Structure 1
Amino acid sequence: MAVTENNSVQEYKAIVSVLENYVEGLRTGNIERLKKSFHQDAIMYGYWEEYFIEGGISNLYDSVEKHGAAPHFSTHIDILDKTENTALARIRYERNAADKDGVDYHSLIKVKGEWKVISKLFQISVKQY
């Protein structure tokens, strides 16, 4: 059975909109806004420098609560692949709320016609000047 792809510009814009909402939630420190981008059962795994972080997406909300807004947050979003109901995206960023740089990989799924991030894989590096 072949996978049907819907690669319309509108679908790509819908995915980018979810990721831009995530970025703006981080920039402003708005946890309620962040929650709109994630599936309620989303997970996250990755490294904050040398520390391994794992578990539910509530870890992200806790981090934003701890570190606050990131007014100088700079990002670049790439959609790496997309099918009819799934997508994989990369967000490279500089100067998060803790003044760190890194990269996120987001797996998205379309549920009831709406794109949501279902998993976040990340690496936050030591700030280098």
Structure 2
Amino acid sequence: MTDATSTPEAVVNAYAKGTATRDIALLKSLFHEDAVMTGYLGPDFLNGSPAPFYGALEANEVGSDYASETTSLVVTDKIASAVTEEKNLLGLNFTNHFHLAQLGDGTWRITSKLFRHA
């Protein structure tokens, strides 16, 4: 088990680090292979895999003033939910709701991310 996936908190913190540094390999290691991203980017409803998120990070610089704060984290046995507030990700602010699950090997992965930009 890697440190980045050892607890739900570690996964959420690694997500923020991977986003800030555009570390796509790290981000991919945090999401379950069947993870879903759903949400609103402006008026547009998006629903699918995290692939477009990875592509946006690969194509654009993340500013040094990017910040992410976890405002809620609830762990119930082998499932967890977390809420984060991101500031200035590619010029936008986001509220993210993550669902995480502990896999059979003891690691934690993001199974879904629900988001909106503010």
Question: Under TM normalisation by the shorter chain, which class is it?
Answer: 0.7 to 0.9
Percentage of identical aligned residues: 26
Question: Equivalent residue for 1:120?
Answer: 113
Question: Equivalent residue for 1:30?
Answer: 23
Can you list the C-alpha shifts for 1:77-119, whole angstroms capped at 9, x where unaligned? 13442211100100011111x2111100000000020110000
The aligned runs of 1:1-129 (5 Å cut-off) are 14-96=7-89, 98-111=90-103, 112-125=105-118
The structure with the largest alpha-carbon Rg is 1
Q: Distance in 2 between matches of 1:76 and 1:89?
A: 10
Can you list the C-alpha shifts for 1:18-72, whole angstroms capped at 9, x where unaligned? 1111101110111111112111111100011112111012122122122233421
Q: Distance in 2 between matches of 1:29 and 1:68?
A: 8
List alignment gaps of at least 5 residues for structure 2: 1-5
Write 1 or 2 for the structure with the bigger share of strand: 2
- TM, length-normalised to structure 1: 0.80
* Secondary structure at 2:116 match in 1: strand
Aligned pair count reads 112
RMSD (Å), alpha carbons: 1.5
Which runs of structure 1 show a deviation greater than 6 angstroms over 4 or more consecutive aligned residues? none
* Secondary structure at 1:17 match in 2: helix
Q: Is the contact between residue 79 and residue 87 of structure 1 (CA under 8 Å) also seen in structure 2?
A: no
